[in-house]
Structure formats: C-alpha cells, structure tokens
Structure 1
Amino acid sequence: MRPGLLWAGTESGLYISFDDGEYWSQFQQNLPIVPITDLDWKENDLIVATQGRSFWVMDDVTPLHQLSDTMASKSVWLYDSAPIWRTGGSVSLRYWFREAPDSSTTELRILESDGTIIKTFTAEDGAFDIEAGMN
C-alpha cells in the first residue's frame, strides 16, 4: 500500500487522496455519480458497493500505489506488475510518459529475467499507446 493513499465513498461518489486526506479529488472513472455504501479490497482490486447501481470493480489499482515524486521526475515510467508467465494469452502493462514521445522511435521490449529479448513492439505499428500520462 502507498502511504497516504485514502479512498472515500460519499453520497456524491468516490474520492481519492494521496496525502492522508489533506486534499481530495473525485475519482469516478466510469462509475456513475451515485451514493457509495461500501468499499473493500480483493487482492489489488477496489470493490465499490453503490446504492441502486450494484457493484463496481476497479481492476488492479497497483499503479495508484506507485505514484510518487520520483515517478513524476522521470520522462518515462514502467509500473511494477504482478509476475507474468508466458501462456499464449495477452498481458497488460502500465506505463507513464510525461510527454507523448515520437512514435517512430518508441519501442517496448519484453525481456526474460536474464535480459534476453522475448518480443519487441513498436509504437509506429500501433502496438501500444503513446499518449502523455498513464497508459
């Protein structure tokens, strides 16, 4: 858990604080503005119970735990993820760019723990997003 990270469910929606509650921001994402009646954690997922709109699950809030001044000082940041095994399916990686990079020079390389390249993706081919902010 990230020190200082707090969640609040209120009559008017979901809020988040990164500084022990000194400053709060609305955190609706795709959640309708409805009264929040309960919040819970399951592994790294935030589960929200609402009044009249059922449940809402925000899958893997790990990147929110990793936000820091160190990350903000970098031009590129790759968020830590849970261990990933090659199974033939897809994988989700989260990363952050301070500014959108040049698509003709941006690559993403997937490596074994010993540094062997498994796969290389290029932004120019549209294999991943290269927008400023969290991707």
Structure 2
Amino acid sequence: MKPQDIMSPVLAELHTIRTQLDGIDRRLDRLQVKGARAGATGLGAHTGATGGVMAHSRATREGLRRAYVFDNLSLELAAIQCGVSVHSARRWKKEALNSGDDWEVIRSALSAGQRCAGRYRARHPDQPDGAVSGDTGKSQPG
C-alpha cells in the first residue's frame, strides 16, 4: 500500500473536521455577541471604540496580533492561545487590514529581517550581537 493511499482518506477526514469546527466557531461567535448585547456579563462584554459591544477586550485583540505577527504562530494557534475562536481571529485580521494594519506585511518583514540577521551572524561569528562590520562592540576612548 502506497503512503498516498493512506493519506488521502485521512486528509479528507481532516478537511471535514475543519469545516465542522469552522461552523461551530461561527455559531459560538454569534452566541457570544448575542449574549454580550443582551448584557450578559459572564462573557466579558466590553464596549468598543465604535460604541458597539465586543465579546473580547482590546487587549485580547492585541495579544492575538502579537502572537501571530511577532511570535510567528499560525492564526489558529494564536487564537487558541488567546482564548478566541478562529473565526473571530480571521475577522479581526481582516478588519485590521481594512483599517490599514496589514499583519502579513509586518510578519513577512520581521521574518525577512530575522533571516538576514541569521545569515550575518553565520558569516561573522566573531561579531557580538548588534555589531556592524568594523565595530568591535567596545567604546573608543574619547
């Protein structure tokens, strides 16, 4: 039996499960928003900048952005870490993009910078971190 013969049904099943989980996430989001609008305090409802009711705080959104952009987690893992649904995470990312905050551009730039820094360190192992060519990291006398 070939590996692809085994993997194909598994991948199909995983796709089905993911589709079901996305549906559950959307329903959960709707329930949280409805509960927040109804004044349910157990969901941690907060008033947003636009005056609407939010099921999660601004700090939660910022934590999700930080985990995704700076910690380089997948959006799904960042959502789990922050305790929000994947659907909410995708919506927040899209809202940020529409307001001019492109998480992907920042994430890509950070990744490229880290790769360049890694290559530089590999080529110049004798240089202390943060030093540029010709800089020994020691201050020169006055």
Q: TM-score, normalised by structure 1?
A: 0.20
Greater strand percent: which structure?
A: 1
Which one has the largest radius of gyration? 2
Choose between structure 1 and 2: higher helix proportion: 2
